[in-house]
Chain A
Amino acid sequence: MSFNQLYIFVGDLLPFLPDQIVFIFSGLSMAITICTFILGIGAIYTWFERRVLAKFQSRVGPNRWGPFGLLQPIADAIKLILKEDIIPRAADKSVFIVAPIIFLATTLLVYSFIPIGDDSQLGGLNVALLFVLGITSINALTVFMAGWASKNKYAILGSIRAVAMLISYEVPMAVSLMGVVMLSESLSLVDIVNSQSSMPFILIQPLGALTFLIAAIAEMSRAPFDMVEAESELIGGYQTEYAGMKFAVFQLSEFLTPIFTAAFFTVLFLGGDSGFSFIPGIIWFASKTFLVTSILLWFRATWPRLRIDQIMGFAWKVLMPAAILNTLLVGLEIVFLNENYLFQILINSIVVCIFIYLIANILGQKKLILRNPVPSELANMDAN
């Protein structure tokens, strides 16, 4: 049920109420429903992520509470809400408290733009794509607020690194969406989904999809891009001074972002809820999102953390030209090969292969040279 249907339903049910009150009532109830649903999904996702990560690392994972450890999120919530909540004496108290609130609020807010079905209220907004990009970039500011308010040198170092990384990856992420906007001729997410009914954009522009996926992983600041909270170097990054419920809010929103990224990728490149018509759209959407979430989890489990110079170099030297190349290619193809999709797919797949080959051979790691081991002078001291 969408907001419009609820609005009409409540209006019919209680015709004596003024229109504004019906609007506010149905809007609030819709928002509360969506937020509760997302928090529930997030709770299940924490369990899923921990179990799957454990399988990747040959561990068992949480399995004590309930069948297969399914009640673990509830146990975690109870533990975190009962933990002592410390605010350091030196901290800037008001900013310290506001930072986690804004962090989770922005994470919840972007979910309202995901269109499922044609009558999505905010997904149909004519600037929805820009709106989502704008809201997600508030994250950089919030991370800096948290680090600055802690008055801790580890926190400030972590948050400055985080801001540098987040703003660097924001540019290729936005430029890689240019191809999507050009092909769908609109910034509204509903139009983007509708224009993919015949062909998902990941086939037409694989380079843009790849660039967007990598930049989005960096924007989530998860492994392999988890420079922000490199626990072996920076204690906990911007979360160093946070404890109890505030820490829980940060963690919750970090577990909610991969689901949003997967849903956003599904909308932009995998065709949202379109598919064969004998399966309902919501199931298409959920299964595509689940697939992308699993891929993100797989990335997290298998790749080691990158160094900061590798991360910044990758954003500016690899993803930036890739995103611009994708923009130029799609622009040329729209003007010169209008709607000849098969030819576009062929050209773009060849271009993406050549690009990856060139980048890997120019900027990639040099081949390891094995030198003959030089025996140490101390090695055979006892022999004489």
Chain B
Amino acid sequence: MEEYSIYFERYGYFSLFLIVALLVPSGMLIASSALKFLGLRKSNPTKIKLDTYEAGIKTFSSRWSGFNFRYYTFAMMFLIFDVEVIFLFPWAASLVRLNNEFSEAVLIEMFVFIGVLILGWFLAWKQKAIEWE
């Protein structure tokens, strides 16, 4: 019961901090717009000023200009290896305790897991999934 109350205290403090952290930038933006209503800050939007920026000439294309397919392969690689990281964290945190109980088997099992991922990493390299060309 003691432990639970510590958790509630900590996550409660975290949520209070989250509220303050969200209020600081919003307060800055609100202060800026309040100055506009008080007439201290200039606001004179014209038609050309509100156009999308285009390096000095008239805007001629939208954001849907398309982008390279490479980004998807990097996203896939990220997903695979991020899941690996999630598996590694609990193993790493309890390695010493598990080692005392089950000896080297714990280490070898995780090395096999990492080894399979390294094989996949070599395959990705060989198929030029991580090359930017």
Interface residues in chain A, defined as those with a beta carbon under 8 Å from any beta carbon in chain B: 3, 23-24, 27-28, 30-32, 34-35, 39, 81-90, 97, 100-101, 103-106, 108-109, 112, 121-122, 124-125, 130, 148, 150-157, 160, 163-164, 167-168, 170-171, 174-175, 178-179, 181-182, 185-187, 235, 240-241, 244-246, 248-249, 308-309, 312-313, 316-317, 320, 324, 327-328, 331-332, 334-335
- Contact across chains for A327 and B114 when beta carbons are under 8 A apart: yes
Chain A residues with CB under 8 A of B21:
31, 35, 104-106, 108-109
CA distance A327 to B14 in the complex (A): 31
For the complex, give the distance between the alpha carbons of A107 and B88 in Å.
26
Q: What is the minimal beta-carbon distance from B62 to any residue of chain A, in angstroms?
A: 7
B29 and A327 within 8 A (CB): no
A105–B20 CA distance with the chains assembled, in angstroms? 8
Once bound together, how far apart are the Cα atoms of A181 and B96, in whole Å?
11
Which residues 12-55 of B have a CB within 8 angstroms of A? 12-14, 16-22, 24-26, 28-29, 31-33, 35-36, 40-45, 49-53, 55
> Quick one: given A178-B92, A313-B132, are A31 and B97 in contact (CB under 8 Å)?
no
Tell me, yes or no, whether B110 is within 8 Å of chain A by CB: yes
Task: Using A85-B36, A151-B62 as known contacts, say yes or no to A27 and B18 having CB atoms under 8 A apart.
Answer: no
Chain A's nearest CB lies how many Å from the CB of B84?
Answer: 8
Q: Return chain B residues, CB-CB under 8 Å to A89.
A: 50-52
Main SS at interface, chain A = helix
Q: Across the two chains, which residue of chain A brings its CB closest to B62?
A: A151
Q: Smallest CB–CB gap between B11 and chain A, Å? A: 8
A324 touches B29 (CB 8 A): no
State the CA gap A20–B130 with chains docked (Å).
53
Give Cα distance in the complex from A156 to B10, angstroms: 38
Give chain B nearest CB distance to A283 CB in angstroms: 25
Contact A84 B20 (CB under 8 A): no
| B93 and A181 form a contact (CB under 8 A) | yes
Q: In the assembly, what is the distance between CA of A84 and CA of B125, in Å?
A: 49
- Chain A residue, CB-CB nearest to B6: A124
Tell me, rounded to whole Å, the shortest Cβ–Cβ distance linking A19 to chain B. 11
The closest CB in chain B to the CB of A3 belongs to B13
Cβ–Cβ < 8 Å partners of A235 in chain B: 53, 55
Pick from A32, A106, A151, A187: contact of B63, CB below 8 A.
A151
Q: Is the CB of B32 within 8 A of A244?
A: yes
Q: Can you list 17 pairs linking A and B with CB atoms under 8 Å apart?
A: A3-B13, A81-B31, A81-B41, A82-B40, A85-B33, A85-B41, A88-B52, A104-B21, A122-B17, A152-B63, A164-B71, A164-B74, A174-B89, A185-B97, A316-B121, A316-B125, A320-B81
Return the 3 tightest CB-CB contacts between A and B, nearest first.
A309-B132, A245-B32, A27-B16
Report Cα–Cα, A174/B35, bound state, in Å. 43
Inter-chain CA distance A121–B33, complex, in Å, is 36
* Distance between Cα atoms of A35 and B44 in the complex (Å): 34
What 1/0 flags go to B51-69 for Cβ under 8 Å of A? 1110100000111010100
Q: Are A27 and B13 in contact (CB under 8 A)?
A: yes
**Of the residues A27, A109, A181, A320, contact of B89 by C-beta under 8 Å:** A181
Q: Is the CB of B28 within 8 A of A249?
A: yes
Is A121 within 8 A of B10, CB to CB? Answer: yes
Q: How far is the CA of A175 from the CA of B88 in the complex (A)?
A: 8
Residues of B contacting A327 with CB < 8 Å?
A: 88, 92, 114
| Interface contact B32-A175, CB-CB below 8 Å | no
Contacts of B13 in A (CB 8 A): 3, 27, 30-31, 112, 121-122
B65 lies within 8 A of A331 (CB): no
In chain B, what residue has the closest Cβ to A39? Answer: B24
The answer to whether A23 touches B9, judged by C-beta atoms less than 8 angstroms apart, is: yes
